[in-house]
Chains A and B, each alone.
Chain A
Amino acid sequence: MNFELSDEQRALQEAARGALSRHKTVEAARDALDGGERLDLWDTAREVGWPGLLVSEERGGAGLGGLDAMLVMAECGRVLASVPLLGHVPATAVLDAAGVGDDVLGPLAEGERRAAFVGAQPPGDLTSEWTVDARRGHARAPAPRSEVDGDVAVVTGEAAWVPDAPGAEVLVVATVDSDGAPRAVLLEAGADGVTVEPVVRYDATRLLGHVKLEGARGTVLAAADTELAAAWYLAQGLLAAESLGAVERALESSVEYAKERFTFGRAIGSYQAVKHALVEVLRRMENARSLMYYAGWARQDAPAEFPLAASAARVAASRAEDFASRELISVHGGIGATWEHDAPYYFRRAQLSRRLLGGAGSATDRVAGELLAQAGAAPA
């Protein structure tokens, strides 16, 4: 039994924190909203080897595990860094599992080229369909359709709000065939029939794109449906980790201020109303951390539990981030709601993250569905 980080994982964390500390990322989050250019830290990511984190060593990657990637994401989340790993890492995991050639994976592992994962939410206990985020509204949209023409896949369909799609050279797309069965397809972003419309919403550090595929021709990947599902849940886990990092920083900042701001002759952190709320942030943060470890462990050692573990991590981290970012504002009083403070950028990050990749709500439903299915609930 050992359910804590290894020395290597702590070193990875420290190295990530060090690499990111050289940049004024939170200021950059503000500047980007003010019309400045987004501070893209892909080059930093390349220097420390993050693009190849999950690519096996014989293909030029680091051959690390899902938890390692989550730890890096948490460090990025702490400082609101814009590093397009949320799209790249799951895409490379699918490609690695599919056993594509070094010509494809090598440059991706090295970071010379960037990939994005156009993922689809796998079926659950009540649904048999693979779905993607719609541009607007509550309903899920069907995953893009693909047909096979010789050894070429022809893909048609749309996926909205795809993380890190703008600027990616390679798209790994979760499509379905005419029977609704999943099929992984590798597309060059520059191919005919591929359109990526960049979108910025509320948090300008986040690269998002609406992907439109109109008869786009790509390569069928030898990735099983379980691999496509695992990549979706990996993205859930990475997003959870990013949120957890933001919670850590929000709590530190809130606690620091609660110790130095005085009202009625004493520090505001001495009042139970403030103290208990900050302990609530801590409680949610530690719960989210335990579930992130669970997700990391399950991906490797208990793949059947990975959908449950990653969804639960997403739910806990999203709710923690929501609570922590609001508390960060409240503890700081009026100043916390001003453009010059850091709090609004943590709040913006939380607001947008919560609604991406199916939204935290569908992850909550997935936790329920997985457990009900395990318990042998009668199918609908």
Chain B
Amino acid sequence: MDLNDTPEQAEYRAKVRAWLEEHRAEAPVLQGEGAIQDEDEAIAAHRAWQGKLAEAGLTGITWPKEYGGQGLGPLEQVIVNQEISRAGVPGLLDTIGVGMLGPTIIAHGTEEQKQRYLAPMLHGDEVWCQLFSEPAAGSDLAGIQSRAKESNGGFVLNGQKVWTTNAQFAAFGLLLARTDPEQHKHKGLTMFIVPMDAEGVTVRGLRQITGDAEFNEVFFDDVALDAEHVVGPVNGGWGTALTTLMFERLTIGGGSEGMGYRADRFARAIGSDPAAARDPEVRKRFGELATDLLALRFTGYRILTALQKGQIPGPEAGLGKVTVVNAAIAAGDLIADVVGPDALDVEDEWNYLISFLPGLKSAGGTEEILRNTVGERVLGLPPEPRLDKGIPFSELRAKEREAAGASA
């Protein structure tokens, strides 16, 4: 057991730290005191900061060098994340693009696509969004209904996506659409690159419990796409999507401490109230949730060790999300119990956490679907009987409509 850097890693860390020290003053303030209030202005400043990070070689750490990346390992990525967090400066504007969508294009895209899209993504000049989930398809992602019909050597896209972070200022989206409804549901899907300024694309903010619109819904009405917008094989989009989802797991799993769900932060909030810090009930609840958060940190080190050895974390890594979300929910509850109604005030530090977490429970797949996946792939338990296997998607939809009608 050794949590120390190797000499090479220590040298890399020192280099990263030195750059951040030198350029810290150039970083925009996006949160807390002195934060840029105007949203467009904040995004522009964040975009420029990502550009500087890219010039300094602090983005695309694990991307191959030929596409502007650093060609380094996951440990170096963690070092950069830690140093950025330590310096108290913002990270990337486009974590979704650089963390998940870029790697998908690297794995499945054509050489032309890589040359065209990757460098502007890395520099934040073109931000990307992920167009996967739909109102009627989330955990059961392969049930999407957005339809891309072949037409004159290209495609015409119609449908709706939802929960789309950054769509309001994204230049491109990576979109999963159904190209052949007569095949069964996993087979007739294709992945596309969609220019967000194309005719027929409408982005609408979707307000959440916080009252803010952090996500969007995106509508597609007869959007024309060319063959060169296809990523990976036509009707082979499911395999492409799995690559994105694997990178999503890495991004979400590794980011919980960066999101501020840390035992020490919650301890400061409780400890600042002497009556709470002595109360046995408060201490019991805090001790239990803090134990979970500590476990998560050290599970993270186990996952990093596996990554360092070239192993890819399995679905069990997703259990970390269950742990962190529920522990953070318990922390928000406890702090609000300690503070009282003021914790719910929109100006209060805890208002956002309390409002944001109920939705996070379903982000990246609901807790229930995650438990199914882990139960089946890790414990080897048999799946539930499925009614969607081996029949064309069009027929499945008809059956679903009939069943819903019968029960209504």
Contacts and interface: CB of A to CB of B under 8 A. Distances in A.
B381 A269 contact: yes
A369 B280 CA distance: 10
B280 to A, nearest CB: 7
Interface in A256-279: 258-259, 266-267, 269-272, 274-276, 278-279
Contacts of B384: 270-272
Nearest to A298: B1
A357 to B, nearest CB: 16
- How would you classify the secondary structure of chain A's contact residues: helix, strand, loop or mixed? helix
B267 A3 contact: no
Contact of B381 (A125, A278, A361, A380): A278
A365 B280 contact: yes
A374 B264 contact: yes
B290 interface: yes
A288 interface: yes
A271 B278 CA distance: 44
Contacts of B382: 259, 266-267, 269-270
Given A255-B379, A255-B380, A267-B382, A1 B305 contact: yes
Interface in A325-380: 361, 363-369, 371-372, 374-378, 380
A4 interface: yes
Interface of A: 1-4, 67, 125-126, 251, 255, 258-259, 266-267, 269-272, 274-276, 278-280, 282-283, 286-288, 290-291, 293-294, 296-297, 300-301, 308-309, 312, 315-316, 319, 361, 363-369, 371-372, 374-378, 380
B291 A316 contact: yes
Contacts of B242: none
Contacts, number: 186
Contacts of A297: 1, 3
Q: Lowest 7 A-B CB distances belong to which pairs?
A: A377-B271, A287-B295, A3-B301, A364-B287, A375-B267, A269-B381, A368-B287
Contact of A270 (B1, B264, B385): B385
Interface stretch (B127-135, B169-177, B347-355, B370-378): B370-378
A1 B3 contact: yes
A375 B284 contact: no
A3 B375 contact: no
Interface in B1-48: 1-6, 9
Contacts of A361: 284
Contact of B305 (A2, A251, A374): A2
Contacts of B375: 269, 275-276, 278-279
Most buried by A among B75, B294, B322, B383: B294
Nearest to A369: B283
Contacts of A258: 381
A282 B284 contact: no
22 contacts: A1-B304, A1-B308, A2-B1, A2-B2, A3-B301, A4-B302, A4-B305, A255-B379, A269-B375, A269-B379, A271-B384, A275-B375, A291-B295, A293-B298, A293-B302, A296-B1, A315-B288, A361-B284, A372-B277, A374-B267, A380-B274, A380-B277
Contacts of B284: 361, 364-365, 368
B322 A291 contact: no
B291 A367 contact: yes
A375 B305 contact: no
A378 B276 CA distance: 11
A3 B287 contact: no
B274 A368 contact: no
A312 B294 contact: yes
A1 B298 CA distance: 12
A291 B292 CA distance: 9
B270 A377 contact: yes
Contacts of B381: 255, 258-259, 267, 269-270, 274-275, 278
Contacts of B107: none
B274 A377 contact: yes
A374 B267 CA distance: 8
A259 B380 contact: yes
B371 A301 contact: no
A282 B270 CA distance: 30
B368 interface: yes
A175 to B, nearest CB: 28
